[in-house]
A = this chain, B = another copy of it.
Amino acid sequence: MFTSSDNNKKLFLGIDGGGSKCKAIVMNENNEILGTGVSGPGNPLHGFEQATNSITESALLALKDAGLAHIELSELIAGVGLAGVNLPVLFEQMQAWQHPFKQMFLATDLLIACLGAHQGSDGAVMISGTGSCGFASIDEQYYMLGAHGFPHGDKGSGAWFGLQAAKQVLLAIDGIVAPTIMTEVLLKKLGCHNDTELVETIAGKAATYYAQLANLVFDAAEQGDKVALEIVAEGAEYINSIALALIAKKPPRISMIGGLTIRLKPWLSKDIQQQLSEPLSPPEVGSVLFARKEAAKIQPVS
């Protein structure tokens, strides 16, 4: 068991902060996972306060889960991977955070996801969760596609699928398009009976809200729903395009990750599916690998 007196031993914290939740992992120097924690949204695009609170909360939960509640956050070397910090303004804001850790190394959610998927080695990832994007890390060069946010970007993401479904249901209620399986299922899921109730329910909702509707699009598509099939085909086509652009960079490995992977992957082109490798570790492990790499640059690990 770790104690505060284990001065020679290092403890690492890995954070994966996304639009809907923030995951934390505590690892030792042997890359063994000691504990995990999950809290609320960790994307600073939706608020600096919420993001930093979520990071701290998930870290404390991970320590508790590891049986290390007596360890202070100030003893942890933290790798913090966050959605949103691909925007320079948010990167600078988070970098300026008076964080509670021993050291903090900040990275985009994309980099830590890629590092996790390929156990710290070069590779590429397509991500479809609440948002969508492509990322490759090859010879210390980063290459990024998408990750533009909602509703102007993030095609093929959970939020995008959910929004497409809501749009089609509103058109169907108006009689502009024929109603399909999705119409009734979506209304029922949201407890709405007509377009007015639906509009009141979804008005002003963020990406995470729409993302919870993505599964019903795939359910309907699997039942042969024509409108759902069109949405799925359009979303899959975009992820195919992302994959082709990444493959053109010749990464040693390429993986698909994110909460929508299990639903979306079977709809990608067979050729692309065959080139995909299973991700080796989750993004929060990538955060630790990133922190170790960066910490070593400052003070080489003995």
Contact = CB atoms under 8 A, between A and B. Distances in A.
A195 B155 CA distance: 15
A242 interface: yes
Contact of A200 (B89, B145, B196): B89
Interface string A204-242: 100000000000000000000000000000000010011
A199 B148 CA distance: 6
A149 interface: yes
A152 interface: yes
Interface string A173-187: 011100000000000
Contacts of A242: 176
A149 B199 CA distance: 8
Interface string A32-45: 00000000000001
Given A152-B166, A245-B175, A203 B45 contact: yes
Given A174-B245, A196-B86, A200-B87, A151 B151 contact: yes
A176 B149 CA distance: 16
Interface of A: 45, 86-89, 145-146, 148-149, 151-153, 155, 163, 166-167, 170-171, 174-176, 195-196, 199-200, 202-204, 238, 241-242, 245
A196 B84 CA distance: 11
Query: In the complex, which of the residues A146, A148, A242 has the most CB atoms of chain B within 10 Å of its own CB atom?
Result: A148
A170 B199 contact: no
Contacts of A146: 174
Contacts of A171: 155
Given A87-B200, A149-B203, A176-B245, 14 more contacts: A87-B196, A87-B199, A88-B196, A88-B200, A145-B174, A148-B170, A149-B199, A151-B151, A152-B170, A152-B199, A153-B167, A153-B170, A174-B245, A176-B242
A177 B228 CA distance: 23
Contacts of A89: 200
A202 B163 CA distance: 18
Contacts of A203: 45, 87, 149, 152
A197 to B, nearest CB: 9
A143 to B, nearest CB: 11
Contact of A167 (B45, B87, B152): B152
Given A174-B146, A176-B238, A242-B176, A153 B199 contact: yes
Nearest to A242: B176
Nearest to A200: B87
A174 to B, nearest CB: 5
A97 B113 CA distance: 51
